[in-house]
Amino acid sequence: MRIHVDMTLCESHGQCVFAAPEVFSFDDDDRLVHADTAPSELLDRVKAAAASCPVRAITISEHSS
Looking at residue 62, what is its pLDDT? 78
For residue 53, the enclosing domain spans 2-61
pTM: 0.89
For the chain, what is the domain count?
1
Residue 50 in this model has a pLDDT that exceeds 90: yes
Query: CATH number of the domain that 21 lies in?
Result: 3.30.70.20
- Which value, to the nearest 10 degrees, does the dihedral of the CA atoms of residues 18, 33, 42, 5 take? 100
- Are residues 33 and 26 in contact, defined by beta-carbon separation less than 8 angstroms? yes
pLDDT in the model for residue 30? 92
Phi-psi group of 28: left, alpha or beta (phi > 0 → left; psi -120 to 50 → alpha; rest → beta): alpha
Digit-coded pLDDT (tens) for 12-41: 999 999 999 999 999 999 999 999 999 999
Give yes or no for residue 65 having a pLDDT over 60: no
Q: Is 2 helix (H, G, I), strand (E, B) or coil?
A: strand
Q: Which helix (H) or strand (E) holds 44?
A: helix 43-52
